[in-house]
Amino acid sequence: MNPYSLAKRMARLLERSVISMAFLPLGISVLTSELPISTTPNTISDIKSIEVIPQTLTLKLGDGSETFVVSAIDKDGIRRDVTSDFLLESNDIIERVGIYQIRGKSPGSATLSGTWNNHRIAFTTSVSEETDPAPLSFVRDILPTLSRAGCNGGSCHAKPNGQNSFELSVFAYDPKSDYDEIVSDARGRRIFPAFPPESLILQKATQAVPHKGGKRFEKGSLEYNRISEWIAEGTRYTTPGEAPLSKIQISPGQGRFAPGSRHQFRVEAHYEDGQTRDVTHMADYAVSDKELLAVSTSGGVEFGNQSGQGVVLARYMGHNAQVKVTIPNHHTDGTRTPSDFTETNFIDTLAANHFANLGLSPSARCSDSTFLRRAFLDGVGRLPTIAETREYLDDERPAKRKRWITRILDDPRYGDYWANKWADLLRPNPDRVGVKSVFMLDRWLRQSFRENRPYDQFVREIINHRGSNHGEGPAVIYRDRRVPTELSSMFSQLFLGVRMECAKCHHHPFEKWSQADFYQFAAYFGSLKQKGAGLSPPISAGTEVFYFAPGGSVKHPITDEAMLPKAPDGPVETELNQEPPRQRLAEWLTGSGNPYFSRAIVNRVWANFFSRGFVNPVDDFRDSNPPVNEPLLDGLAEHLVKNGFDLKKLMSAIMNSSLYQLSTNPNESNLNDTKNFSRFYRKRLPAETLLDAISDVTRVPEKFDGMPPGSRAVEAWTYKIESQFLDAFSRPNASSDPPCERDEKSSVVQALHLMHSDNIQSKLSAPKGWVASLASSEKSPREIVEQLYLAVYTRYPSSEERAIAEAAIPETRSARAQGIEDLLWALINTAEFVFNH
Amino acid sequence: MSRFNTKCNGVSRRDFLQLGLGGSIGAGLGNLLRMKANAASAPEGSSKKDINCILVWLDGGPSHYETFDPKPDAPSGIRGEFGTIPTSVPGLHFSEVVPHMAKVANKVSIIRSIAHTDPNHGGGNHYMMTGAPTPVPVSCGAVVTFHPSFGSMVSYDRGIRGGLPAYMSLPRVSRSGGPNFLGGEHAPFVVDGNPNDIKFRVRDVVLPKEIAESRAASRRDLRRALDRLPRFTDAAAKDPAVTFDQYYEQGVDLVTSPRAQEAFDIFNEPESTRDKFGRNDLGQRLLMARRLVEVGVSFVTVYYGGWDNHTKLFERFKGSFMSKLDQGIGALVNDLDERGMMDNTLLVVLGEFGRTPKINKDAGRDHWPHAMSVLMAGAGVPRGGVVGATDSKGYYASENVYRPEDFAASLYTKLGIDPHQILHKSSGRPVQLVNNGRLIKEIFT
């Protein structure tokens, strides 16, 4: 096969997959790597076996064709689709009508065989007699057709209030109301039984009359004919004896696939009466990772050139199926890039397994300077001082990094840095809840992290909190989120990493959480009561007390049934008596039997150090968004639980791993690895850290209104404390709902601010600043340059750098300040300063 | 290893600069930007991508009675203290306190029939600044964002042109003027300070006062020479430092472009022009806004609050509070017209709602979202147009009634942005930019 441009193929594929894009932005990867693509194995002897899917073909005459797929599996377990070159031996009962399509020719059953490159495989086949076609059913035949045409996508007729007064449930979660909407509403205009082609539903979909959603299918297409016949048959909701759908299945199952290749999948619907049906061409598809994978509307999956793991999802009538796929690196031909990766602790062992599976070689170990800078910035959000850097670089004793990690995590800055991270997540809009309330939360957060409160205890204090918004503590969360459903959405996302918000309104496509799950979880907060002065924005200064009192139920919005509290996958709380249900929730949440809790916090902490989590976004755990290297995530979660939810111990394990100490420099195998952590990924310093770093290296503290002199940016407790710098570098704005994720991208505004802001210039030229003091000192240019490099970059300058930098410092004393100022300006304007690397 | 460059200057800035200003001497900046923008976008409708917008935000909700929709025949408890004056459009009358705007009525359209149902500042701000109602009631004092603002969306759609932030806001960001899920890079660039002040400078886009141009250039040279972090230029490596470089070079282009620098300096404007706009903060901000769109900023918000006149409305409107707006908008319209900028500038003047018909006991008017007036001009908006009407006493928009969604769809369409496009939140959830908005057809003739 000729090499081809995968990008082009994917672009074509994209055009075809408009319909399944209606929900997930199934965009196609930017595959810019120019590595050669091999789609067939080098030698046939690599192949160990071939496999036909399905292993038994059951066909009925007159029933159309069935999807079949042939895979070849090589010695590394890598599967390739060889259907197009598969030769079916001549027989009387079936025939091929397309690469992936087989149709019955005459009744009978037999064991047939076929060959691919001298590999022979047998499979059983039976073809039954033609019978009268079963009458069409809305549930079984029509709704899948409409879903497939994209009619009930979240941005079409399934958006709130529908589109043009025609409203369907999102992804067909409520078939009955969809049926009524089509058959009965709009005074029956949508259906015209006397002459089906006149039905509005067909005219709109074929754009015979103007349709904002465009043409969904052609007149005379399979879809058109099916709907038309169904109308002619009298628009049955279900047909007599119709068995409900019990599950769907996607095959081939979990496996390894060749990079740059394509493989067809087959989706089968299983009904409660034991019948099955090929719905490959009726299902919707999505992939977990658009950079690794793309899927067509007919279930053909393209594997990109990046190595990694992902999930292919199929959805059919409210049922989901998924398959985990692994794409190993191109370099799995035995010549792996050599690596000096040493397995320091369990993290490294699990990482090494993962790399071996994907054919990735980790980057080299980072230098001592890089490590020290990285560890300080990630651990406590500040740069090491010159003295610390010198001491560290001169330290010749063994286990240097290990000892310094302990020292860094004991730094007093730890509390503010980590409290600030949690403030991003917990801090409400002060306009809404009052500034004092926000301040009292802030104090509690900082205290919690200063004393390294165990994480389970920290969460229990939030969940069980009672008392006033004007006492130190998290009461303001309850002042802000006043109804049970708001609390349950927030807490499930924060503490379980499960976004249940969608389930508030509809059953989530591709997900397992139902509406009932959502309201059951909310029911834990039904008995939470407030008294006192409620919200009165924009001042909202009132005092309010939160407490437990029995009574107060949460009802399911459709069934109106009062829900008993239950956590997702947790027990139903039936015997509550006088005990606040929140307490039960807190116990379940932080209990060792709950797998979500520890994984969610591990993922957040991990993302602090590695730029991204195992799961991204960090609070979006779901089956359709699987973690990279799940065993490692689980291993860390176990470590955390075993160590009594001590976050510092978790961080220490992470920072001591060789994985954390990898260089950012890629090697031949991992240049395009951007998610498996086989190299360290650069990240821009967060707004507060960067501002504090600039204040530190200029030795001019920032002035904040309403905060004591000398306060650091990391101590700012509300976005209302004005700072152009912090705004430019995207500190979260608590007035945004939902709270914005902290944005760590660069922008031109940031560049302009670094370059030209009066504030930074005034720090450089301040009479009491470091530049002035260096200029007036007796230090030689050589000493000054060395100090600047140690302070800004945590390293000594190279001889070449020394030469350039020293030349920038004039001999004349009066001009010295300006020269040093320019030098420091230049250093803080480089990527080496702005990034953690 | 050849797959990534480890040299200090490994990044070829020209690879990334698509709309750079560097080397544009000779070609007018505006033209260059226009040319490049045309080249970059689809031929159809490409000219709309050159239309920039000035949005004047009258926070608090200006009275429609005392501006563009007076009701001289209503009872005095509704009519208010002021009389009406004829405008330059025969038969069209404004309140007597806006004589300058009355004179330019023949260059603008007034929409008198936008109505919604959110009587709170927080909710109203959000509705009229984003085109989306808040999903939950939002009380008056609150600052919220649930949906991207117009300016942020324009920034998202057009991106950075010539190193210029696409969305600027003077002198502060309006309440719901943020990017929401579009991300921090589309937040407005706030130009604070008072351009009427002798020491005024646009922050960050010009050199700090004490830094001469030659010194800035030598600083940049020094920086370039000392920049040693290797860059991994292969796009597959997704090196954020490479993105940082792109933005940095755009910023350098901006500060080294004489034309851009001239634009930022309001003191280059002739005294006579500055006087026309009014020697006050608002007048000079409006002038600054014109200079910014002229140089290629896509969307400029001028925030002018203080319209929540529950008390002493008439007293306030007799004074400079109203005359600054009246003079400034009048001058801006004339200025845009004289400079031939009407075709590629959309001017919008509005607040979050109108005011109650009945004058309250404190000689004020309260919140009233059922009727409000919006001034629009340029970008093909008819000159001398009046869209819709309220009933005879000004209670309700009664003819050709439009909703904020319609206003939003029209604004986006004028700027060449598809209002019905689907955006995705980070959760993957699809969101329509404007939900079911239809165009205000009278401004598309």
Q: Tell me, what's the pLDDT at B9? A: 33
The answer as to whether A304 is a domain residue is: no
Span A441-477, pLDDT tens digits: 999 999 999 999 999 999 999 999 999 999 999 999 9
pLDDT band at A577 (very low <50, low <70, confident <90, very high): low
Distance of CA B6 to the CA centre of its chain: 43
Query: Does the beta carbon of A31 lie under 8 angstroms from any beta carbon of chain B?
Result: yes
Contact of A438 with A718, CB cutoff 8 Å? yes
Span A263-300, pLDDT tens digits: 999 999 999 999 899 999 888 898 998 889 999 989 99
Could you read off the pLDDT tens digit of each residue along chain B, which spans 445 residues?
Answer: 333 333 333 333 332 222 233 322 223 333 333 333 333 333 344 467 889 999 999 999 999 999 999 999 999 999 999 999 999 999 999 999 999 999 999 999 999 999 999 999 989 999 999 999 988 777 776 677 889 999 999 999 998 887 788 999 999 989 899 998 898 889 899 999 999 999 999 999 999 989 999 999 999 999 999 999 999 999 889 999 999 999 999 899 889 988 889 889 999 999 999 999 999 999 999 999 999 999 999 999 999 999 999 999 999 999 999 999 999 999 999 999 999 999 999 999 999 999 999 999 999 999 999 999 999 999 999 999 999 999 999 999 999 999 999 999 999 999 999 999 989 887 677 889 998 899 999 999 8
The answer as to whether A315 is a domain residue is: no
Torsion, Cα A589 A593 A597 A603, to 10 degrees, reads 170
Percentage with pLDDT > 70 across chain A: 91
Span A719-770, pLDDT tens digits: 889 999 999 998 988 877 666 667 888 988 999 999 999 999 999 999 999 9
What is the total residue count of chain A?
A: 837
pLDDT band at A336 (very low <50, low <70, confident <90, very high): low
Single residue among A103, A134, A165 that ends a domain in this structure: A134
> Are A159 and B251 inside 8 Å of each other by CB?
no
- Burial-class residue A277 by CB neighbours within 10 Å (0-12, 13-18, 19+): middle
Pairwise CA distance, residues B152 & B184, whole Å: 9
Contact of A152 with A84, CB cutoff 8 Å? no
The answer as to whether A177 is a domain residue is: yes
Closest Cβ–Cβ partner in B163, B183, B209 for A748: B163
Closest CA to A685 of A665, A721, A714: A714
Closest Cβ–Cβ partner in A306, A665, A672 for B230: A665
pLDDT band at A549 (very low <50, low <70, confident <90, very high): confident
Query: Does the beta carbon of A823 lie under 8 angstroms from any beta carbon of chain B?
Result: yes
Q: Tell me, what's the pLDDT at A38? A: 40
Q: Tell me, what's the pLDDT at B59? A: 96
The helix (H) or strand (E) run that includes residue A445 is helix A435-450
Single residue among A211, A232, A253 that ends a domain in this structure: A232
Buried b (16+ CB within 10 A) or exposed e, B67-80: bbbbbeebeeebbb
Percentage with pLDDT > 90 across chain A: 61
Same domain, A418 and A404: no
Same domain, A657 and A736: no
Pairwise CA distance, residues A551 & A528, whole Å: 9
Phi-psi sector, A186: left (phi>0), alpha (psi -120 to 50), beta: left
Closest CA to B304 of B321, B279, B288, B327: B321
State chain A's mean pLDDT as an integer.
88
- The type of residue at A832 is E
Same domain, A555 and A644: no
Cβ count within 10 A of residue A547: 13
Same domain, A111 and A204: no
Same domain, A216 and A188: yes
Q: Which pair of tokens denotes residue B155?
A: 């920034």
Looking at the structure of chain A, the number of domains it has is 5
The helix (H) or strand (E) run that includes residue A431 is helix A430-433
Q: From A680, which residue of chain B is nearest by alpha-carbon distance?
A: B239
The answer as to whether A822 is a domain residue is: yes
| HSE-CB of A58 using CA atoms within 13 angstroms | 5
> Are B141 and A539 inside 8 Å of each other by CB?
yes
DSSP-assigned states of every residue in A99-126: TTEEEE-SSEEEEEEEEETTEEEEEEEE
The whole domain housing A577 covers: 414-591
The answer as to whether A630 is a domain residue is: yes
CATH 3.40.720.10 positions along chain B are: 45-203+271-444
Same domain, A404 and A424: no
The residue among A756, A765, A827, A835 with the most chain B CBs within 10 A of its CB, best to mutate, is: A756
> Are A537 and B141 inside 8 Å of each other by CB?
yes
Same domain, A600 and A666: yes
Torsion, Cα B28 B344 B34 B424, to 10 degrees, reads 140
Single residue among A232, A247, A265 that ends a domain in this structure: A232
Same domain, A51 and A142: no
Same domain, A626 and A708: no
Same domain, A482 and A587: yes
Same domain, A667 and A815: no
Query: Does the beta carbon of A165 lie under 8 angstroms from any beta carbon of chain B?
Result: no
Round to the nearest angstrom and report the end-to-end CA distance of chain A: 42
Closest Cβ–Cβ partner in B180, B204, B244 for A756: B204
User: What CATH number is given to the structural domain containing A93?
Assistant: 2.60.40.3450
> Are B429 and A502 inside 8 Å of each other by CB?
yes
- The type of residue at B352 is E
Same domain, A568 and A440: yes
The answer as to whether A152 is a domain residue is: yes
- The beta-carbon contacts of B318-324 under 8 Å, at least 24 apart in sequence, are B318/B97, B320/B280, B322/B66, B322/B97, B322/B98, B323/B97, B323/B278, B324/B278, B324/B280, B324/B281, B324/B282, B324/B283
Residues of B in contact with A535 (CB under 8 A): 139
Span A376-431, pLDDT tens digits: 999 999 999 999 999 999 999 999 999 999 999 999 999 999 999 999 999 998 88
> Are B247 and A665 inside 8 Å of each other by CB?
no
User: B45-203+271-444 belongs to which CATH class?
Assistant: alpha beta
Closest Cβ–Cβ partner in B3, B180, B254 for A736: B180
ipTM: 0.86
Q: From B228, which residue of chain A is nearest by alpha-carbon distance?
A: A832
Return the HEC string of B349-383. EECCCEECCCCCCCCCCCEECCCEEEEEECCCCCC
Closest CA to A248 of A145, A156, A319: A319
Residues of A in contact with B420 (CB under 8 A): 212
